[in-house]
Structure 1
Amino acid sequence: MRVEADKQLKPAAANRSRKLSEWAQWLEERQISLSFGLIAALLAATHVYAPEPAVADGVSAAASSSLKARLRALASHNPRTGLYAVGPGDLLLVLLVVLLLTGLRAAAMKLVLSPLAARWGVARPADATRFAEQAWMLLYYNIFWPFGMYLYCGSGYFLDMEALWTDWPRREIAGPMKAYTLAQLAFWAQQVLVIHLERRRKDHAQMLGHHLVTVALITAAYAYHQTKVGNLIMVLMDVIDLFLPLAKCLKYLGFTWICDVLFGFFVLSWVGARHVLFLVTCWSVYADLPRLTPDACFRGSAGSLRAAEAEGWRRFWEPFADPTGRVCFGRDVGNAFLVLLLALQAMMMVWFTFIVRIIVKIVQGHRAEDVRSDSEEDEDE
């Protein structure tokens, strides 16, 4: 009886998988039109329904009611301080950036990067697609890693771990920091979609877990006003992607010896950033945060911040639901951050075993190859 039941379940599972694949293909083929169409609709709705900005001195009412002014109001801009708060419009801003990244990625891959791959001698369509995917990642990280480093190097917490935890809570942050944090959040949310559109690798589940944990960490750091440590962790995580996508692109173009050299830089940056400096940051979360951040609760906006009670489970979720509501920080919240960070570290250790396997192959005289590609679900002709 059990064998018969298994036989009945297998066709049903295959049918569900086929339908999901068809939906993924449908979305992939329409990424450009769907993304930019939804962006246009959301911007039109924003122009109509976004909060009416206050008319500042010397500024015409028409200029103050422009789409740009409404977007700034949507981003919770404080004209008195020039800073930005966490606000209810942030979700819409993240959605806009997710759609923008999706549309730009699809357009760049289809219209620019894949044709370039073909022109440069990448014959197989599957390889041209992989080249385009990696080239897009290279473009993204060559914009956002320098942007993140610019913010970090110009900050008061540059090379000072203890300064990560002082002056909490800061209800308002500078525009570039808000733009960087929300754009990174949008990128990783979009990556959850991307890995379901690309051909699956054997570490698909691990990649999905990594992306979801990253989204959770960025969201929590933003809601709990810990963007300083968020900035540091993101530049540590992103630095390796200055080397890995470039190495893969060069491999598809046939520059294998340069690929091997870049792989060496990738390994050094991986170990230094993700297994040394990342763990130093985790130690600071464990040791410095409880000592330097008050175990307290506050509520109100930046100009009217006041102490609040630390009672009930609702205090853990309130920062996500009410930007001017109660925000609490203590050992329990710090431990939650630490658990998520260590979960990332555990996944990175698993990936490091893949890296070690590649190093062993190179030592044995082989070229650097991504061992995750060994069990893709199917092969293109």
Structure 2
Amino acid sequence: MAATATPLANGFANGFAHPADPNGTTGPQISIHGRKNSPETGHGRPRTQKKTQEESLLGSLCNSICDHQIGISVNLILLLLLTHNFLPRARRYSSKFLHLSYYNSDIGLYGCGTDDLFFVALWVVVFTGLRVFVMEYLLDPLARLGGIHSRKGLVRFKEQAWLVVYCTGSWSLGMYLMYNSEFWFNLRGLWEGWPFREISGLCKWYYLVQWGFWIQQIVVVNIEEKRKDYAQMFTHHIFTCSLLFLSYGYYHTRVGTIILCIMDIVDIVLPTAKLLKYLRYTTACDFMFGVFIVTWIVTRHVFFPMVLWSIYAHTPTAMPPGCYFADGTMVPSSAIQQYDALGGNEIWGNILRAYTDRTGPICWNPTIRYSFLGLLLALQLIIILWFVMIARIAINVLSGNAADDARSDDEGDDSEVEVDEENPRTTHSVSATKTSLDSAPLEQEVGVEGLTFARKGSPGVRGYRRSSNRNSGGRASGISIPGHGDRKELLGRIGCDKPT
């Protein structure tokens, strides 16, 4: 039994997400899995049914989380509040989520420890729901008001605008903390008086909320549709969370705060330039891109190296190697026997002291010093490599081309799809006017028994359906037609793509 492709597309119109057809019709989402050298399996045999079922289950779970991020977050928070209010015996645990732990009423400061991880977990949940709420109910209308109506354009605008909203708040608070601290334009103040076992409530709240935000970013890149820069972003978020974890456990929140502020300012300026690009303010975009380059150079190639220099030059005198006790006394490294007995030469045992023994001695030694310095120098090397890419874009701008960020915006072969204001599920291609209306698609006979169907994942943004086809790394699949390895050629034959 065989059927032509165009009637088949109409027959399955109600059961599958459709990509936009440049000719003004809709067709089924196609995923090409050739029998020879299949990109899905890497071998000449089709994927096993068990593996398909496992991937479908994982994809369905991710899709469910994406589509209900606000509901999941609200329900978890309500469950926590109900437990805290109506189960008094559980308050010893629930209060750790709702309040900062280790408060010292004698001096009005807060200590650090494992109970703080509960507070971080709460903010991961809060940001999960808050991000989607702000994007969908505040930023989405703003983007439409600015003339953005394509699905891809709306998604990109909302993602970048959310970064601007969050980073503006976090950077402003971080700058306020630094301005009112002992280390405002005083790099030695980063180290004098270490270890900082107790800090102000606002400083602790800022640090833990930042930590929760970056953990939530790890969740985002894994549950939503994967982009071309998935590996880079995932690595960046892991690196950031690791630095927060280690610096908090080693009582180095001061240097952590200054590094966060150095990095956050760039995450305000660059997304702002992208927003201007999406709004088609080309001149303003290029100007903001120039501001971004200046900001990048000053913060990441001047201020950040100054912090690295301070670690190298100031810590030997401001933080003499030795073991420091909670009462302020110190055993110097020159007292070799006692120093070794206290674990002075250990690395991880000291770095994680706030999580293992928050009242015990904590030791500082040259090995730890050079380990931190080496990690931050590696980060500076990555920043330099990024700057090389930025410089290439700057050269293009000076040559008369518009500024464009080549790192992360390209999502593949997605077509710009207009959003129907009355019915978000109805789409049409913005490139339809560029295609001849009288160019009828060629028909290709396809055996129905050769078709397989799978769910298509959504990235968790309302009304969003991707029209790209990916051979690997995504959860997107629609109709699989064995025996065809050329996506463009096949889509042209059945009328789902521009004729070639």
Q: TM-score range by the shorter chain?
A: 0.7 to 0.9
CA spacing shift, 1:329–1:8, aligned 2, 3 Å: farther
Q: Distance in 2 between matches of 1:351 and 1:21?
A: 33
The match for 1:24 is 62
The CA deviation at 1:23 is 3.7
* 2:258 aligned with 1:232: yes
8 Å CA contact 2:124–2:216 kept in 1: the answer is yes
The match for 2:75 is 37
Alignment of 1:1-381 (within 5 A): 6-7=42-43, 11=47, 15=52, 21-46=59-84, 48=88, 49-51=90-92, 71-72=98-99, 74-300=100-326, 309-310=342-343, 314-373=349-408, 375-380=410-415, 381=417
Q: Distance in 1 between matches of 2:310 and 2:385?
A: 23
The match for 2:31 is none
The match for 1:56 is none
The match for 2:496 is none
Q: Distance in 2 between matches of 1:304 and 1:51?
A: 31
Q: Distance in 2 between matches of 1:249 and 1:218?
A: 29
Q: Distance in 2 between matches of 1:175 and 1:11?
A: 54
The CA deviation at 1:101 is 1.0
Aligned length: 362
- 1:270-311 CA distances to partner (integer Å, 9 max, x unpaired)? 1110122111111211221233113222355xx687767125
Higher relative contact order (CA 8 A, sep 6+): 2
Structure with the higher fraction of residues in helix conformation: 1
The CA deviation at 1:32 is 0.5
The CA deviation at 1:197 is 3.9
Structure 1: which 5+ residue stretches go unaligned?
53-66
The CA deviation at 1:250 is 1.6
Structure 2: which 5+ residue stretches go unaligned?
1-36, 332-338, 418-500
The CA deviation at 1:134 is 0.9
- 1:102-133 CA distances to partner (integer Å, 9 max, x unpaired)? 11001111222122212321021111011111
Q: Distance in 1 between matches of 2:97 and 2:302?
A: 43
Q: Distance in 1 between matches of 2:376 and 2:248?
A: 15
Q: Distance in 2 between matches of 1:265 and 1:198?
A: 31
Q: Report which of the two structures shows the higher radius of gyration computed on alpha carbons.
A: 2
Deviates more, 1:163-172 or 1:353-362: 353-362
The CA deviation at 1:50 is 3.8
Coordinate RMSD, CA, aligned:
2.9
The CA deviation at 1:195 is 2.1
8 Å CA contact 1:202–1:375 kept in 2: the answer is yes
Q: Distance in 2 between matches of 1:107 and 1:278?
A: 34
> Identity rate of aligned residues, in percent?
36
CA spacing shift, 1:376–1:14, aligned 2, 3 Å: farther
Q: Distance in 2 between matches of 1:224 and 1:106?
A: 34
Q: Which amino acid aligns with 1:259?
A: C
Residue 43 of structure 2 aligns to a residue in which SS? helix
8 Å CA contact 1:210–1:344 kept in 2: the answer is no
Residue 363 of structure 2 aligns to a residue in which SS? strand
Q: Distance in 1 between matches of 2:357 and 2:46?
A: 46
8 Å CA contact 1:88–1:323 kept in 2: the answer is no
Deviates more, 1:130-139 or 1:341-350: 341-350
Residue 324 of structure 2 aligns to a residue in which SS? strand
Q: Distance in 2 between matches of 1:136 and 1:263?
A: 19
CA spacing shift, 1:374–1:172, aligned 2, 3 Å: closer
CA spacing shift, 1:249–1:174, aligned 2, 3 Å: same
The match for 2:454 is none
Deviates more, 1:281-290 or 1:265-274: 281-290
Q: Distance in 2 between matches of 1:347 and 1:14?
A: 37
The match for 1:62 is none
Q: Distance in 2 between matches of 1:156 and 1:9?
A: 66
Q: Which amino acid aligns with 1:179?
A: W
CA spacing shift, 1:200–1:359, aligned 2, 3 Å: farther
8 Å CA contact 2:143–2:158 kept in 1: the answer is yes
